[in-house]
Amino acid sequence: MVLPKQRAFTLVELLVVIAIIGVLVALLLPAVQAARESARRSQCTNNLRQIGVAFQNFHDVHNRFMPLITANVNGSWGWGAALLPFLEQDNLFKSIGSPDITSADFLAPAKLVPNNPTGALGAILQTRPPVYICRSDPVMSPTNDNFGNYGASNYVASQGVINEAFIGASPNWVVNPPGNVRMAQITDGTSNTFLVGERDRKIGLGGLWSIRRGTGGTLGGAARERPNLPFLGTRGAGCCANDRAGNVDVCRRGGFSSTHPGGLNYVFCDASVRFVNENLEADPAGATIVCAAAPMSNFLFQKLYWMDDGFAVSF
């Protein structure tokens, strides 16, 4: 009996099949990447919603919002640490000494964040609570070498609302009204005012959850510049002599930024979270101011940044 001949693929047919598979993969890959980014952005939105609700709960307890830091003192604790009990991170909060950043008592040297901590406390301060992580940040190391290698965060408070609780000098600390903001003082409307936004470590310098005042200034936990202005200075260097690139503003370490396509997430003072286009209208002067707050002017970014400028907002 003669067996029928088995017909094999020709080289041309094989190349056609490979080409078709390549086209299918090329079509599928962007969809997979888009789906992953959508999931990361959704998780980021959820993190900011939790942070916004935590600020609201803090306000309910203390009748004011969380300050940025206790005072402009190296080692001062910041909002990211003090917010931990309201983010179901009570054990972490207790392990760092339960800092009360609304009290001048925590400006005593023994109660400040230690410089270059070692041992158990050092390990704790170099952890990274999941609620402070945006997975879209391409730099995912747990510590931020732009701000002294403390535990990193991707979320920074807007200095149009949040500032230090006390000013002056030891032992005569004076309450600083801009750092003790009550809901009623946000006269532009809580739904029209930024509270916390993103900062990544590719475009920007990221942040710290302990917000230790020291290396890099208070800007480890705060921002004041329009979205996605790239940092052009020397990364890992202290503030601010190495920040300048030509005639570019030296305080771009204080910007908001994200690698989400097209913009970034903000939580507003009413705890709502919205995605804001990176090209939103902004005062051009805001990109050239040296180490100062965003100008109070009739541009959309500035109107969303300041809590009481009196400008109408359409957003």
Kindly state whether residue 29 falls inside one of the protein's structural domains: no
What Cα–Cα distance (Å) separates residue 291 from each residue in 75, 87, 240?
21, 32, 9
**Tokens 């991170």 sit at which residue?**
89
CA 67 to CA 212: how far, in whole Å? 13
Q: Is residue 253 part of a domain?
A: yes
Q: Is residue 199 assigned to a domain?
A: yes
Per-residue tokens: 24? 């299918």
Q: Are 78 and 221 in contact (CB under 8 A)?
A: yes
Q: Is 223 helix (H, G, I), strand (E, B) or coil?
A: strand
Amino acid occupying residue 266: Y
Q: Are 290 and 249 in contact (CB under 8 A)?
A: yes
pTM attached to this predicted model: 0.86
Query: How many domains is the chain partitioned into structurally?
Result: 1
3-state secondary structure of 244: coil
3-class secondary-structure state, position 62: helix
Q: How far apart are CA 215 and CA 143, in angstroms?
A: 14
> Going by DSSP bridges, is the β-strand pair 222-223/155-158 parallel, antiparallel, or unpaired?
parallel
Instruction: Name 197's bridge partners.
Output: 156, 266
Number of Cβ within 10 Å of residue 40's Cβ equals 16
Residue 159 Cα to chain centre, angstroms: 12
Is there a domain that residue 155 lies in?
yes
> Is residue 273 assigned to a domain?
yes
Domain encompassing residue 127: 36-305
Per-residue CA distances from 212 to 71, 78, 264, 307 (Å): 11, 6, 24, 25
Distance CA 75, CA 67 (A): 15
Q: Within a domain: residue 31?
A: no
Identify whether 143 is part of a domain.
Answer: yes
Using alpha carbons, select from 221, 232, 230 the residue that is nearest to residue 198. Answer: 221
What is the chain's pLDDT, residue by residue, as a tens digit (315 residues)?
555 655 666 777 778 888 888 888 777 766 666 678 888 999 999 999 999 999 999 999 999 998 998 888 888 888 999 999 999 999 999 999 999 989 989 888 888 887 777 788 888 999 899 999 999 999 989 988 888 888 999 999 998 898 889 888 888 889 988 888 999 999 999 999 999 999 999 998 899 998 766 655 556 788 888 888 888 777 776 666 666 666 655 567 788 999 999 999 999 999 999 999 999 988 877 655 555 566 788 889 999 999 999 987 876
pLDDT computed for residue 240 by the predictor: 66
Any residues with CB less than 8 A from the CB of 113 and at least 6 apart, and which?
Answer: 75, 76, 77, 125, 150, 210, 212, 213, 214
> Residue 20 domain-assigned?
no
Residue linked to tokens 């040297």: 109
- Tokens (6 digits) for 149: 């290698």
CB atoms within 10 A of CB 53: 14
CA–CA separation, 199 and 222 (whole Å): 9
